[in-house]
């Protein structure tokens, strides 16, 4: 069965410093991987995805994520954090090929960017 | 905005009331989803509709009744709810099947409080 883990409930980073939000996954086949962000009182907003190709994926708002097959990880990164990046971040995975298109979400990591 | 709208944004209802949540997507997608997001719990998939047909029901209590009259509209009918049903209810849509990219696009959610 597919699963995704976000080992950190919260990550604190000083503004201007690089940030990393960790995600590891487990699938039986090849994964589709996604990152979403949720701001207060809002729905989840799609940030980026890995389907195939380059292991480094670039997304919205300067975020990027690196797919590492050997470590089954898909960590979210940004070179220089902004206070406005403070939000709840979700990693998600879909197992392919799989007859069920279900996407499994991690429990979320709250990112605090300190001014 | 993501192209997925939800109404109402906030709802307070008593345990004996009947109410409905509405979701509409303007993205031309063929699948729609209901999720429940409670504090300190992972995102819970409730229902999936694919081409207007329900393809998943994650053991959701019968006091939640979904309806999908067409591929653009999704409803969640609520009756005799319990206080533990208080949560943020999120609607999402995606394009399923073929070489689609499968990311889901979320509405802003309905914050439901059951008194």
List, for residues B71-83, the tens digit of each pLDDT value.
899 999 999 999 9
Predicted pLDDT of residue B96: 76
**Percent of chain A residues topping a pLDDT of 90:** 76
Nearest Cα of chain B lies from the Cα of A89 at a distance, in angstroms, of 12
Predicted pLDDT of residue B98: 59
Predicted pLDDT of residue B42: 83
B103: nearest CB among A49, A102, A105: A49
Contacts of A108 in chain B (CB under 8 A): 42-43
Predicted pLDDT of residue A29: 82
Residue with the bigger pLDDT between B51 and B10: it is B10
Q: How confident is the model at residue B57 (pLDDT cuts 50, 70, 90)?
A: confident
Contacts of A44 in chain B (CB under 8 A): 43, 90, 92, 104, 106
Q: Extract the tokens encoding B58.
A: 């994650």
Strand partners, B65: B77
Q: How confident is the model at residue A51 (pLDDT cuts 50, 70, 90)?
A: confident
Residue B101 reports pLDDT greater than 70: no
CB atoms near residue A57 (< 10 Å): 21
Nearest Cα of chain B lies from the Cα of A45 at a distance, in angstroms, of 7
């Amino acid at each position: 069965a597919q699963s995704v883990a976000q080992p950190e409930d919260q990550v604190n980073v000083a503004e201007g410093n690089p940030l990393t939000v960790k995600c590891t996954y487990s699938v039986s086949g090849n994964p589709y991987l996604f990152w979403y962000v949720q701001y207060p009182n809002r729905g989840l907003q799609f940030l980026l995805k890995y389907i195939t190709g380059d292991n480094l994926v670039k997304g919205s708002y300067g975020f990027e994520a690196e797919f590492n097959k050997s470590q089954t990880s898909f960590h979210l990164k940004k070179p220089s954090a902004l206070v406005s990046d403070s939000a709840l971040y979700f990693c998600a995975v879909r197992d392919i090929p799989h007859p069920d298109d279900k996407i499994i979400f991690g429990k979320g990591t709250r990112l605090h960017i300190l001014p | 905005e993501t192209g997925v709208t939800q109404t109402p944004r906030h709802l307070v209802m008593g345990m004996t009331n009947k109410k409905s949540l509405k979701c509409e997507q303007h993205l031309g997608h063929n699948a729609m989803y209901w999720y429940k997001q409670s504090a300190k719990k992972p995102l819970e998939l409730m229902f999936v509709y694919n081409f207007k047909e329900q393809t998943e029901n994650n053991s959701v209590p019968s006091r939640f009744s979904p309806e999908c009259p067409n591929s653009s509209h999704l409803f969640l009918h609520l009756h005799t709810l319990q206080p533990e049903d208080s949560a943020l209810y999120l609607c999402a849509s995606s394009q399923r099947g073929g070489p689609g990219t499968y990311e889901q696009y979320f509405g802003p959610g309905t914050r439901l409080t059951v008194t």
